[in-house]
A = this chain, B = another copy of it.
Amino acid sequence: MKKVSSLSELGFANDVHHALFRPIQEAAPPSPTKRHTKISVVGAGNVGMAIAQTILTQHLADELALVDAKPDMLRGEMLDLQHAAAFLPHTRILASPDYSVTAGSDICIITAGARQLPGETRLSLLQRNLALFKQIVPPVAKHSPGALLLVVSNPVDVLTYIAWKLSGFPPNRVIGSGTNLDSSRFKFLLAEHLEVNAQDVQAYMVGEHGDSSVALWSSISVGGVPILSQLTKDKAAMEQGVLERIRKAVVEGAYEVIRLKGYTSWAIGYSVASLARSLLRDQHRIHPVSLLAKGFYGIPEDQEVFLSLPAQLGRSGVLSVANIQLSEEEAARLRRSADTLWELQRQLEI
């Protein structure tokens, strides 16, 4: 059997393996039902690589494939991960500009996307990303017809809608990272102030991942205790508009990091790895993610819009959407978020 490894190119003996290791007699080939998990990440930029590295460290997959249009950078990133082999559980790492490297993926994570040029309208940015997704999504869907698609590129809600349309997949298998990270930022702020562990704070941001996101104040709980009544009890301690200022601070959080270090990477890496784990390991955990929201929370059945709602995630994708009691204001804001996204989507030519 002709080996293809870096060492054989250097003249290393090809049959050493047989000399050192021998299978037991009459061994059968692996069972066809044996599961080998594979995650593909499209886009090897800061976000894609932070996601890939976190997935690797957390040992979430047996195989990791990277795709990017820049072959040198891609190869460098692949080698940099492979060189850590002595410190990591054995994961097969592949990389290619050709989408065939993604074949047989359980999850395909799309991070590729054009960045907003100064002065560019959102619609224009979306048109450019639509063109890019027309190159990305069809081959990804072709090579892994049963995969879960996880869209991270921004603006994530409309791009998840686009990915859904271009893939032909059922809507439960097309998810956007949405407000999963915004909710983490929200929890971080609350946890820091309340001196508790962020994982004990249940606090969702839903709707658009962006300016019209909705903070579900009425359903926040800490250690199982709903706290909105505590917050609003002492009117003197809570001036007008504090809650809205906090929501804006969460939305601003991403822009602040971009202003300071040029981009965000680590937090979105952990956020997406957390989603990948819930999906791949069938965890049935609830995450606020961008999904086909029509028919939920008063969003009309004919508005095929993607936005974030708290959803139960598992191996087949979105298992269900949680039915949380919203205040009237929260419900109104959510419908406004849906309308904004719906208007934007209608202007695209898909």
Contact = CB atoms under 8 A, between A and B. Distances in A.
B16 A227 contact: yes
A13 B260 contact: no
A190 B201 CA distance: 47
Contacts of A58: 57
Nearest to A248: B10
A83 B189 CA distance: 9
A11 interface: yes
Interface residues of A, number: 89
Contact of A237 (B14, B194, B196, B239): B14
Interface in A253-267: 253, 256-262, 264-267
Given A81-B266, A184-B87, A266-B53, A261 B190 contact: no
A57 B273 CA distance: 11
A223 to B, nearest CB: 8
B198 A237 contact: no
Contacts of A271: 84, 87
Given A12-B246, A20-B227, A80-B261, A198 B53 contact: no
A297 interface: no
A336 interface: no
A196 B187 CA distance: 43
Contacts of A246: 7, 10, 12
B184 A264 contact: no
A188 interface: yes
Interface string A180-196: 01011101111111111
Interface in A1-58: 3, 5-8, 10-17, 19-21, 49-50, 53-54, 57-58
A245 B11 contact: yes
A73 B260 contact: yes
A79 B19 contact: no
A101 interface: no
Contact of A83 (B13, B19, B87, B181): B181
A8 B236 contact: no
A298 to B, nearest CB: 28
Interface string A221-234: 01101010011001
A142 interface: no
A256 B82 CA distance: 13
Given A184-B84, A267-B81, A273-B87, A195 B17 contact: yes
B188 A85 contact: yes
Contacts of A191: 85
A191 to B, nearest CB: 6
A199 interface: yes
Given A76-B257, A86-B201, 7 more contacts: A3-B193, A10-B245, A14-B237, A17-B193, A19-B230, A73-B260, A83-B188
In the complex, the 5 A-B pairs of residues with the closest C-beta atoms, listed nearest first:
A76-B260, A76-B261, A86-B184, A83-B267, A85-B198
8 contacts: A7-B190, A13-B238, A57-B58, A72-B260, A77-B266, A80-B264, A80-B265, A84-B184
